[in-house]
Structure 1
Amino acid sequence: MSFASETKNELTHLIVHPEHARAELSAMIRMNGAIGLQQGKIILNVQTENAAIARRIYVLAKEHFNAEGELLVRRKMKLKKNNVYIVRFKSKAGELLEALHIMDGLMINPHVDPHFKDDEELRRSYLRGAFLATGSMNHPESASYHLEIYSQQEEHNEDLLEMLNDCALNAKTIDRRQGHIIYLKEAEKIGDFLALIGATNARLTFENIRIVRDLRNSANRIVNCEVANLNKVAEASAKQIKNIKKIDEMMGLSQLPEKLQQIALARLKFPDANLTELGKHVEGGPISKSGVNHRLRKLNDIADQLEKR
């Protein structure tokens, strides 16, 4: 089971107040529902691939709105093996849609009702319903953090974006050919969203995995940095030793000033030492890192001048 599915299953077990059930159910039906007519009466089909979400819709509608639905199961066509679960409301479908502020008479309201949008607590429940309906997210151990919610209607997408950003989640949106996607990319904001909609266990799991992953990445960066520094020291040392040997062959180290002789002999004796360590091994030392670097540059300059002759 994916991390998103585990999160949704956790959310379907939350016990909610009737008004919060109204907000959550409104989002799920608005985003996954389809309205039709049968013998002059409105029927409502709500479709999902998650059995727990189908049960959630059925139970919330029955317990809080006395709307009797029926559960249907369909096998998806083509190569996909998942079942499709449909909650169908035949009787009182119109009353249910009006109670959820989705329809007003025969008109569909394209926007989230202000009753859900402006109330801080009801907003949480509506966003929970939206995630249950069309939300998805990467596993926190994957290459990147990503959570998204899909909406077919532009007006509804804009309302969701506003609701998320009223919660300081820095959500962004992108248009697709068949709809609109709101997404979160920041790990901290995804964790905040999970906490906001009541996915406490999922949030804790997400944060634990994220901390371990970040620590592992930090350790890798430190190791890579140390390896790069060691390689840099080795390359610089190899060049210095080559130049010292060139000076010795072409003019003799004894012809160098005493300080340069000392650093040259120290480098030959301690080829793997970094500048700080080398300064401790210089005869008459220790000398500072900058002092060692200055003398080694002098040796490199002398070697370059000898090669140009």
Structure 2
Amino acid sequence: MSFTADVKFQICQEELDDSDSKVQLCALFLMKGSVHINWQGMYLSFQSENAAISKHVFKLFKSMYDVNPRLSILKKMQLKKNNIYRIQIYEKAQEILEDLQIMTDTGLHSCPPSKMIRSEKKARAFLQGCFLGSGSINDPKTTNYHLEMSTSDEHFANLIVKAMEKFYIPAKITIRKNNYVVYIKAGEKIEDFLRLCNASKALMDFVETRSLRDFYNSMSRLDNCTLANEVKTIKAGKKQLEYIEALEKNKTKVKVSEKIQRVMEIRKKYPEASLNELCDECYLEYGEVISKSGMKHRLNKIKEMAMEFMEEKE
């Protein structure tokens, strides 16, 4: 089972009251349902490749409206050949649409009314329905953090964004293949979404994976920083050896103090040592306590004296 399917399965297991069930079913039907008219009259159809969602929708229609939905299972003949679960309702079609506020005196609507999600409780049920209908979350173990829901209606997409704002989850909208895709990329905000959906197990898996990834990424950045510092130290040491060589070749032309001479000898012995390590070696070799800034000052002095001869050579 994919991570998305696991989240949807957990959402379907939650017990909702009739009021929240109505909001969730409204969002789900607008995402995946359709209205048909034939010689017998109006009927409703809902189809999904997810067995848990299909079972959930079947139970909601049956318990809320006392109807007998027809369930048929179709086999896809292309790609993965998944099952398609189709639910058809021939009873009380108009009554159901009016109760879900999909049909009003002004006709059929492709987006639920804003008043339906005015409270946080209703907004939460609405977002659950939207995610069940068209949502997906990338598996945090294999790729970047990404959650999205899509709809063909721009107003519907804006309503999803507004519902998320109630829970301080900032979402953005992009257009993809004539659909409006609402998406989140921040890991902590995806955690908040899973939390409001009551997908507890998926939330724990996501948090654990995210914590491990962030830890390993931090370690990797630290290793890269350490490596960069080591390369920098080696390059600096190599250059300082060139300055020392220039001074030694011209020792009759320049006066080098004992303190500078000590640093030159230590650097030659330890060409890849850092400043702190040079300080330690200087103490062990000569018993002289020297600070990091003091060591840096002496090395700069060596460079300053050597540059005169290196420029002359050039």
Give the count of matched residue pairs.
309
Tell me: CA distance 1:27–1:209, structure 2 relative to 1, closer, same or farther (3 Å).
same
1:21 positional shift:
1.1
Tell me: CA distance 1:291–1:167, structure 2 relative to 1, closer, same or farther (3 Å).
same
1:222 positional shift:
1.2
* Structure 2 match to 1:171: 171
**Partner Cα distance (1:233, 1:81) in 2:** 59
Contact 2:131 2:149 in 1 (8 A): yes
* Structure 2 match to 1:232: 232
* Structure 1 match to 2:289: 286
Contact 2:73 2:84 in 1 (8 A): yes
Contact 1:34 1:44 in 2 (8 A): yes
**For residue 148 of structure 2, what is the amino acid of its counterpart?**
E
Moved >6 Å (runs of 4+): none
> Scaled by the length of structure 1, what TM-score is found?
0.94
* Structure 1 match to 2:108: 108
Q: Secondary structure at the match of 1:158?
A: helix
Q: Over the residues paired in the alignment, what is the CA RMSD in angstroms?
A: 1.8
Contact 2:30 2:110 in 1 (8 A): no
**For residue 257 of structure 2, what is the amino acid of its counterpart?**
P
Unaligned runs of 5+ in 1: none
* Structure 1 match to 2:29: 29
**For residue 268 of structure 1, what is the amino acid of its counterpart?**
K
**Partner Cα distance (1:266, 1:211) in 2:** 44
> Scaled by the length of structure 2, what TM-score is found?
0.93
Q: Secondary structure at the match of 2:70?
A: strand
1:177 positional shift:
3.2
Alignment of 1:214-293 (within 5 A): 214-251=214-251, 255-282=255-282, 283=286, 285-293=288-296
**Partner Cα distance (2:304, 2:65) in 1:** 88
Say yes or no: does 1:306 pair with 2:306.
Answer: no
1:67 positional shift:
2.6
**For residue 281 of structure 2, what is the amino acid of its counterpart?**
H
Percent identical among aligned pairs is 32
Unaligned runs of 5+ in 2: none
1:115 positional shift:
4.4
* Structure 1 match to 2:54: 54
**For residue 23 of structure 1, what is the amino acid of its counterpart?**
V
1:92 positional shift:
1.4
1:38 positional shift:
1.5
Q: Secondary structure at the match of 2:156?
A: helix
Q: Secondary structure at the match of 1:132?
A: helix
1:293 positional shift:
1.0
Tell me: CA distance 1:106–1:271, structure 2 relative to 1, closer, same or farther (3 Å).
same
Choose 138-147 or 113-122, whichever is displaced more. Answer: 113-122
Q: Secondary structure at the match of 1:170?
A: coil
Choose 111-120 or 40-49, whichever is displaced more. Answer: 111-120
Q: Deviations over 1:112-141 (max 9, x none)?
A: 234431021121111101100000011112
**Partner Cα distance (1:164, 1:182) in 2:** 10
Contact 1:98 1:105 in 2 (8 A): no
Alignment of 1:5-154 (within 5 A): 5-105=5-105, 107-154=107-154
Q: Secondary structure at the match of 2:300?
A: helix
Q: Deviations over 1:77-133 (max 9, x none)?
A: 433422221111112122111111111257113432344310211211111011000
Q: Secondary structure at the match of 2:173?
A: strand
Q: Secondary structure at the match of 2:142?
A: coil
Q: Deviations over 1:37-96 (max 9, x none)?
A: 021511111121101101110001101221321112222243342222111111212211
